[in-house]
Amino acid sequence: MHRIIVTGATGQIGSELVPALRERYGAANVIAVGHKKTPPPELLELGPYAALDIREQSALAALVELERIDTIYHLAALLSATAEANPLHAWEINMGGLLNVLEVARLNNCAVFHPSSIGAFGPSTPPDHTPQVTIQRPNTMYGVTKVSGELLCDYYHSRFGLDIRGLRFPGLISHKTPPGGGTTDYAVEIFPAALTEKKYTCFLKKGTYLDMMYMPDAIRAAMEIMEAEPGRLRHRNAYNLTAMSFAPEELAAEISLHIPGFTISYQPDPVRQAIADSWPNSLDDSAARADWGWQPRFGLAEMTAEMLAALSG
Ligand code: AKB
């Protein structure tokens, strides 16, 4: 039987991963963990919720022991633009939180899922079809915590035999819970703006290519890698993952097919533009496809149609 906790449960990924895990493993077996004392009602009503600060290792350890947890999906982290605004806080949350999770997992023999990101790459990384194993010298605090996190996870796997698995997520597009403080957030914000105002001002400039993925694919990927045969995993941290790569004008053109007259303009934010420019244009995720059968289901057209339908419903 699986007994699972999901940290960062009220965030963009967590709010969709928790219900999916509850459906698969039973609501009572999946404890949503967040820092908010009062989480969104659906997280509370449909299963257990615990409020804790991921920086407090003893609180996490007590919960894991009390609930006999065997699997931790550790999602609590600051995103790229927020991390850049407060780098020391980002180190404390992203690295301090991860170290606490790994230590508690080691002492309680838990499997761990840890998301990395396209942010783990930097300006000297080959930008097109970025290989699985390549140069990783990011120049943002978010990227530094992601590479350090990947290394720390590798260390816990090789040194202590911890069953830890990870994915380098691209920008995630969803309609349930908005992302907070990411560089790829424009690809989420654009949809409600298109529906309500028929126009959107993008904080990245035209021609900025980034990898993206629709949330249902991301949720399935996280669950599939955790269920994969361990012997097939050549990389513990973390697999390149993508579903599509586009620039803002290409997303706008796709939206215009559904909303004639929709227009996009550009007012680049220097911080987020610099972050985006340091990230790859497109990842090569062939290792994930070969090792555990990764296949995205949503491309640009399918994702756009679903996002618009869901937000106008
Ligand atoms: C961000 O933009 O910070 C995240 C990411 C790609 O890791 N969405």
Nearest CA to ligand 1 atom 7: 117
The answer to whether the CB of 182 is under 6 A from ligand 1 is yes
| 165 shares a domain with 109 | yes
**Atom 6 of ligand 1: nearest residue by CA position:** 171
pTM for this model (two decimals): 0.97
Strand partners, 120: none
Q: Whose CA is nearest to atom 8 of ligand 1?
A: 171
Domain containing 271 — which CATH number? Answer: 3.90.25
Please check whether residues 234 and 123 belong to one and the same domain: yes
Distances (CA, A) of 227 to 147, 293, 301: 24, 11, 29
Residue 291, domain member (yes or no): no
In a domain, 134, yes or no: yes
The atom of ligand 1 lying closest to the CA of 81 is 3
Beta sheet of 30-34, edge-to-edge order? 49-51, 30-34, 4-7, 71-74, 111-117, 164-169, 239-240
Q: Are residues 120 and 181 in the same domain?
A: no
Same domain, 11 and 127: yes
- Using CA atoms, how far apart are residues 247 and 249, in angstroms rounded to an integer? 6
pLDDT in tens, 254-288: 999 999 999 999 999 999 999 999 999 999 999 99
pLDDT digits 0-9 by tens, 194-244: 999 999 999 999 999 999 999 999 999 999 999 999 999 999 889 999 999
pLDDT given at position 242: 98
Contacts of residue 161, defined as CB under 8 A and 6 or more positions apart, other chains included, come to none
CATH of the domain at 69: 3.40.50.720
Q: Which of 75, 86, 117, 125 to mutate to test the pocket of ligand 1 (most atoms within 8 A of CB)?
A: 117
Does any domain span residue 110?
yes
Structural domain including 13 reads 4-170+215-240
Confidence of residue 37 (pLDDT cuts 50, 70, 90): confident
Query: Is position 78 within any domain?
Result: yes
Answer yes or no: do 84 and 45 share one domain: yes
Q: Within this chain, do residues 136 and 262 fall inside the same structural domain, yes or no? A: no
Within this chain, do residues 229 and 271 fall inside the same structural domain, yes or no?
no
C-beta of 145 in contact with ligand 1 (< 6 A): no
Q: Is 79 in the pocket of ligand 1 (CB under 6 A)?
A: yes
Closest C-alpha among 152, 118, 155 to residue 279: 118
Same domain? 59 vs 137: yes
More confident site: 251 or 178:
251
Helix (H, G, I), strand (E, B) or coil at 131: coil
Q: In total, how many domains does the chain have?
A: 2
Whether 83 is covered by a domain: the verdict is yes
Cis peptide bond upstream of 218, omega within 30: no
Distance 52 CA to ligand 1 centre (A): 24
Q: In terms of domains, do 105 and 50 share one?
A: yes
147-165 pLDDT, tens digit per residue, is 999 999 999 999 999 999 9
> Is residue 292 situated within a structural domain?
no
Q: State in Å: Cα 80 to ligand 1 middle.
A: 6
Residue of 134, 160, 151, 187 whose CA lies nearest to 303: 187
Question: Is the confidence at residue 114, as pLDDT, over 80?
Answer: yes
Task: Please choose from 84, 142, 242 the residue to mutate so as to test ligand 1's pocket, defined by most ligand atoms within 8 A of CB.
Answer: 142
Strands (E), 143-217: 164-169, 171-173, 199-202, 210-214
The arithmetic mean of pLDDT across residues 53-72, rounded, is: 97
pLDDT in tens, 281-313: 999 999 999 999 999 999 999 999 999 999 997
Q: Helix or strand or coil: residue 279?
A: coil
Residue 137 sits in the same domain as residue 257? no
With respect to residue 289, please indicate whether it lies within any of the assigned structural domains. no
Provide the pLDDT for residue 43. 73
Residues 113 and 231 in one domain: yes
108 and 146 both lie in a single domain: yes
pLDDT at residue 237, rounded to an integer: 85
